[in-house]
Amino acid sequence: MVGIIMGSTSDLPVMEQAATFLQSMEIPFELTIISAHRTPERMFRYAKIAKERGIKVIIAGAGGAAHLPGMVASCTTLPVVGVPILSSNSIDGWDSILSILQMPSGIPVATVALNGATNAGILAAKIIGANDENISKKLEAYQQSLTDKVLNGVEEVNTRYPNTFEK
Q: Which residues define the annotated binding site?
A: 8, 11, 38
CA distance readout (Å), 20 to 14, 121, 144: 11, 8, 19
Annotated binding site for substrate: 8, 11, 38
Beta bridge partners of residue 62, listed in sequence order: 84
- Order of strands, sheet of 110-111, starting from the edge strand that comes earlier in the sequence: 29-33, 2-6, 57-63, 80-85, 110-111
As a whole number of angstroms, the distance between CA 137 and CA 126 comes to: 10
